Structure 1
Amino acid sequence: MLVSRPLTAAPLMLASLCLAMGASDEAFALRIDSGNPDLSMRLDTTVRYNQGWRVDGRDKQLANNPNFDEGNYTFDKGDVFLSRLDLFSEFDLNWQDKYGLRVSGAAWYDHDFPDKTESAPGLAPVANYRNNEYSGLVKRYYAGPSAEFRDYFVWGNFNIGNTELNAKVGSFAWLPGEFLFSNASSMSYAMAPNDGLLSDLSPGASAKETSLPIGQFATTWQFIPELSLMFQYTYEFERSRVSEGGTYYAVADGALRGPDFLAPGVARRDAKEGDNGDIAVGLRWSPDWAMDSSFGLWYRKFDDKNASWANQVIVQSPTAPYSRAVYAKDIELYGLTWNGVYKSVSIGAEVNYRTNMPLNTTGQTFIAIGRPEPGNLDGARGDTVHALLSGAFTINKNAFFDNGSIAAQLDYMHLVKVTDNKAFYNGSNSEGGSVAGRCEDKELLRGCSTRNAASLGVSFTPVWQQVMPSVDVSFPVFATYGLYGNPAAQNAGIPPEDSYLLKFGPRVEYFVGSMKHQFDLAYTARHGRTGQINGNNAYSGLGYLHDRDTLILTYQTAF
């Protein structure tokens, strides 16, 4: 993964991230002796096994809803819902630090994953999978055994006059920016697809595993030590992955690519995807007077890699309606970034303005009986402002632990205006919506957006070294919380107000020679605002997963 970050602030930030997120140690890579000092080769392989249990009983009203039953009924309280082995291998070749190539691949297998979903009593006739049997796509990515290539690209460093140029071409992920957790508020939003499915199924997976590669050409041109130009052009489109409908972590049973049906008689069809040809241009300036700081200026034009409209229904024939996902095109972004260090605290900040951004959309059925489908089916669009503030620092030895790290990220978004398809915007009249009265009462429970929204994510990892010979112990804690509102932009990365995710548990690292064996036991809980609308229970954000707390045991090593 190509990462753009000034070297002055990077070490402290990355060290904190490694402690907080459990990144593998590259010191255990296998170096291949080529017999030529100009040629170096290395092969890194990460092995990870996860076993997870459901520890919560069902919310009966939520679980008996036909839109949510299969993901909830397939596993009972106490059931093993995850028994997954993941392999991730990376091969790097370097010639004189001038030219090189990289190839990586992933493989996985879950021997316990079921062949079928289970519907709530009486709801099997309206199952989202034909005869309740998982589709081939779900079986491939959840059960396996299966594998795929990830990165494959070549790179080169060139001297042009007194300047230096680094160029890469092939399939890889490039995520510049100052984010620590989610990059949804960053200028790098949708710069690479995200493997949210792997994030759910393989806790402990690193960013280089969950950032999906995309075919592109990218350069960094260092004009002078203080100023560099960055450029990206993509020549293919790839979608982000999410937990598929009817699986344990899915919010709704009908989305996204896996299910056969959105509802009875409404078949799922291929998505209306974006195109290739994304462009990103950035300047990074690190003036001497700024000491350990650097500034970035960005322009991007891109298509969304996340579904902006997950369940659009087209009725061209009254006997064969169909649904599909839609990916918004031609989003433009203008961004500023800053990175610095203050009293050993690494700090990053970003703000960006986006036009033609997909917004929270309602009213998803289009009637076109006997006619071609309407041309403009992209939902509500608008101008939005996104910002983030991140920070990380390490903690020295004290009375409670030997060392530790804290990292935090504050995300914010603001809706400037709804510019297109206002009739589909899911917000109150005062926030730019047009559905009279719908969002004036219990707007968060109705899924309505607000003009402003904010959230906070924090990780804390205390470490106790050499508790026993060759054994270190730590206790990572991560939490994210919706501080205010419900974001107007789709895929904004900000949970609705009062929604939260909490993950915590012990980690044991055992060192044997050059090998590190890592064991994690993590409890994860999700929740959100709940209430009633017209006598029925209603949920906001992560509230749809409030009855699916998990306990996951992870073993990981690298060689």
Structure 2
Amino acid sequence: MLLPQTAARLRADCPFLALSVTATAVLLLACAPAAHGFEIDTGNPDFAVRWDNTVRYNYGNRVEGRDPKIGNSPISDEGTYSFGKGHTVTNRLDLLSEFDVTWRKRFGARVSGAAWYDAAYGDTSHGNPNPPLNAIPSYINNRYSDYTSRYYGGPSGELLDAFVFGGVDIGNVPVNAKLGRHSLYWGESLFLAGNMHSVAYAQNPLDLQKGFATPGVEAKELFRPLNQVSAQAQLTDDLSIAGQYMLEWDSYRYPEGGTYLGPVDFAFNGPDRQYISPALGFAMRGDPSEPKQHGEGGLAARWSPEWLDGTMGFYWRRFADKLPQTFLTNVGRGVSRYNLIYADDIDVYGVSLAKNIAGISFGSELSYRHNTPLNSTVLGIAPGLPAQGDTKGPRGDTYHGLVNAVGVLPKTPLFDTATWAAELTWSQWAKVNSGANLFYAEGYAACAGKDKWDGCTTKNYVGAGLAFTPTWFQVFPGVDLSMPLTYAIGLSGNAATIFGGNQHNGNYSIGLGVDVRQKYRFDLKYIDYLGDYRSNATAVTSQNGFTTLLKDRGFVSLTFKTTF
């Protein structure tokens, strides 16, 4: 039977439990038991100082052969040619350092940072050695851009959290606030697929590049904290309210084109250009169109009346998207450019319910987005289209829903215990407010002569994510063994929103995890990707979802992690 506190711990410790969709099924499934860090004795019981350092080493090897049709496509060849079967695709060392100071458990500060180095990546992209594609690399002279070199090879690092916090009582109402770089996550979604359809969508940018490169990374390392002010007040025993106001904007990080898990060569911030055609030549990557740095915000309320025996949530957020639309623009004299466009002034209204029923922790959400960016004619899906001009892309209104469950199974003859999670997601576009001529959907001009198997949006989308982890305790003294399994798939239709999901597009993983004295964690995993594409005799001509182009990228990963 699942204890309520167990479900709460699973949701709190693994807020993206398995984080599985669009090619990252396994990355966060098995959140390892918290390792012991280093607490500094201050000699004052009111003053606590803690410094934790997590070291992780990850080695990955490609075990699946190259799909020649993916390798013969000018928009996907460089990723699959970046490493061959049997080659090392990552040889990466990561450090996460966290420093926390608290005073009487109500005031304090937190600073964290990350550093990394991956010996599998140098300064030169491998490129496609086969003509004519060897003459049109997305990186000029096959040299990785500074951006790609920094975030893939390194050595490099960055600041993550940097905030102060405090709490006061206003009358009988306790109020807690944070100021600085931190992350918030509202709602009940578990999986990344759920997050894409949740009230928490784009509440935090995520570092998916790190997640793809580092299986076993913890959820807290994928959040990209932003400068903001946030507060929460417990008005009554069963009602709390919260709010946030953003002082900074930043985008998701996504696997870059020309790297092993980059599905398309031109995306996103790393590649220099994309080849269009012999007549048009290259489109050069231009500066992104980004929203202003401040102005996002939201309000939330959590209500837990005794009669409900659960918690309802109510949410409103105004935000700027952190995933881009991509547009080809004609800048004159036969020169083309493509830009990443980030939409702003999006409103989301949502309601959630969390409840324990028969020992299982259930969560659900229903939300409505107004003026959200919709899938558009993007470079690579529809090559050869005329330049699209200075546009912000199609916008519209969409509905989103999810339901999930988390449970724990007791001891059986097969295992000592097992955790499981399942999530079903749904979305529907309601109307198109602007840019209908660019909306990549069935029945619209951009999809003339095409259907959902070419990636065209359908009216409704349904997807699912599953995770199951049996565990065997004390297989040797001080050693626990687990077997995390994950599967994520688009069941029906193609979502209208960016990276919202596509039918038959997904991923799966099979792994073994070893915890030694709850301090040293070893993970061995096989990870692979699913999807459908159309082709001619030699190359992919269209695909249903960009990560379909990773379906030949199956790899084995071995990870070691410890905290001190």
Normalised by the size of structure 2, how large is the TM-score?
Answer: 0.91
Number of the residue aligned with 1:234: 246
Distance in 2 (CA, whole Å) between partners of 1:313 and 1:16 is 39
Per the TM alignment, residue 35 of structure 1 is displaced from its structure 2 partner at its CA by 1.5
Partner of residue 411, structure 1: 425
How far residue 200 of structure 1 moved from its aligned partner, in angstroms, is 0.3
1:245-256 paired onto structure 2 within 5 Å: 245-256=257-268
Q: 1:3 maps to which residue?
A: none
Q: Which residue of 1 aligns with 2:172?
A: 162
User: C-alpha distance in 2, partners of 1:191/1:363?
Assistant: 25
Moved more, 313-322 or 358-367: 358-367
Aligned residues of 1:16 and 1:394 also touching (Cα < 8 A): no
* 1:320-362 per-position Cα deviation (integer Å, ceiling 9, x unaligned): 4322100011111110011111121111100100011111101
Whole-Å Cα distance in 2 between the matches of residues 170 and 8 of structure 1?
31
Distance 1:532 1:61 in 2: 7
1:294 and 2:294 matched:
no
Q: How does 1:108-257 map to 2 (within 5 A)?
A: 108-117=116-125, 118-122=127-131, 123-182=133-192, 183-257=195-269
Match of 1:283 in 2: 301
The equivalent residue for 1:85 is 93
CA distance in 2, matches of 1:188, 1:148: 24
Q: CA deviation at 1:317?
A: 2.3
Question: Partner of 1:199: helix, strand, or coil?
Answer: helix
Q: Distance in 2 between matches of 1:230 and 1:156?
A: 15
Q: 1:125 to 1:535 in 2, by over 3 A?
A: closer
User: Which aligned pairs between 1:475-486 and structure 2 lie closer than 5 A?
Assistant: 475-486=483-494
Q: Secondary structure at the match of 1:150?
A: strand
Q: Contact 2:13/2:31 (CA < 8 Å) preserved in 1?
A: no
Deviation at 1:15, TM superposition (A): 6.7
Aligned residue for 1:304? 321
Q: 2: distance between equivalents of 1:543 and 1:140? A: 26
Separation in 1 of the partners of 2:521 and 2:287?
Answer: 40
- Offset at 1:474? 0.8
The one-letter code matched in structure 1 to 2:472 is: W
1:452-478: per-residue Cα shift (whole Å, max 9, x none)? 001110100000111111111110001
Q: 1:65 is matched by which residue type in structure 2?
A: S
Select 1:266's aligned residue among 273, 283, 290: 283
Equivalent-residue separation in structure 2 for 1:213 and 1:446 (angstroms)? 36
Whichever residue aligns with residue 424 of structure 2, its letter is: L
Which amino acid counterpart does residue 550 of structure 1 have in structure 2?
F
Q: Secondary structure at the match of 1:324?
A: strand
Q: Is the 8 A contact 1:12 1:346 kept in 2?
A: no
SS in 2 for 1:316: strand
302 and 482 in structure 1: CA distance in 2 versus 1, 3 angstrom threshold: same
> 414, 423, 434: which is aligned to 1:400?
414
Q: More relative contact order in 1 or in 2 (CA 8 Å, sep 6+)?
A: 2
Count of aligned pairs between the two proteins: 534
Q: Deviations over 1:229-282 (max 9, x none)?
A: 110100111111000111011111011110111235422122101222101111
The residue type equivalent to 1:206 in the other structure is E
The residue aligned with 2:556 is 551
In structure 2, the CA distance between the partners of 1:458 and 1:78, relative to structure 1 (3 Å rule), is: same
Q: Distance in 1 between matches of 2:533 and 2:331?
A: 37
- For the 8 Å contact 1:274–1:305, the answer to whether it is kept is no
Fraction of identical pairs, as percent: 36
- Cα drift, residue 8 of structure 1: 9.4
**Alpha-carbon spacing, 1:7–1:225, altered in 2? closer, same or farther (3 Å):** farther
CA–CA distance in 2 between the matches of 1:521 and 1:273?
Answer: 39
Q: Secondary structure at the match of 1:141?
A: helix
Give me the CA root mean square deviation: 2.0
Distance across 2 between alignment mates of 1:23 and 1:89? 18
- In the alignment, which residue of structure 2 is the partner of 1:507? 513
Q: What residue number does 1:326 align with?
A: 341
Contact 2:35 2:563 in 1 (8 A): no
1:313 shift after superposition: 2.1
How far, CA to CA, are the matches of 1:8 and 1:163 in structure 2?
Answer: 28
Deviation at 1:27, TM superposition (A): 5.0
Matched, 1:70 2:82: no
SS at 1:548 equivalent:
coil
Map Cα deviations across residues 41-70 of structure 1 (whole Å, 9 max, x no partner): 111211111111111111112102121111
Equivalent in the alignment of 2:524: 521
For structure 1, list consecutive stretches of 5 or more residues without a partner in the other structure: 1-5
1:463 equivalent in alignment to 2:471: yes
**Aligned pair partner of 1:454 in 442, 458, 462:** 462
SS in structure 1 at match of 2:453: coil
Name the counterpart of 1:11: 9
For 1:353, the equivalent position in structure 2 comes to: 368
Post-superposition offset of 1:544: 1.0
The alpha-carbon deviation at position 222 of structure 1 amounts to 1.0
Task: Determine the C-alpha separation between the residues in 1 that align with 2:320 and 2:386.
Answer: 23
Q: Is the 8 A contact 2:14 2:219 kept in 1?
A: no
Seen in structure 2, the aligned counterparts of structure 1 residues 384 and 242 have a Cα distance that, compared at 3 Å, is same
Contact 1:24–1:558 under 8 Å retained in 2: no
The amino acid of 2:301's aligned partner reads L
Kindly state the Cα deviation for residue 124 of structure 1 after the two structures are TM-superposed: 2.4
TM-score with structure 1 setting the length = 0.92
Which stretch of the first structure deviates more once superposed, 530-539 or 312-321? 530-539
- Aligned-pair CA distance for 1:165: 0.5
The CA distance in 1 between the partners of 2:7 and 2:484, in whole Å, is: 23
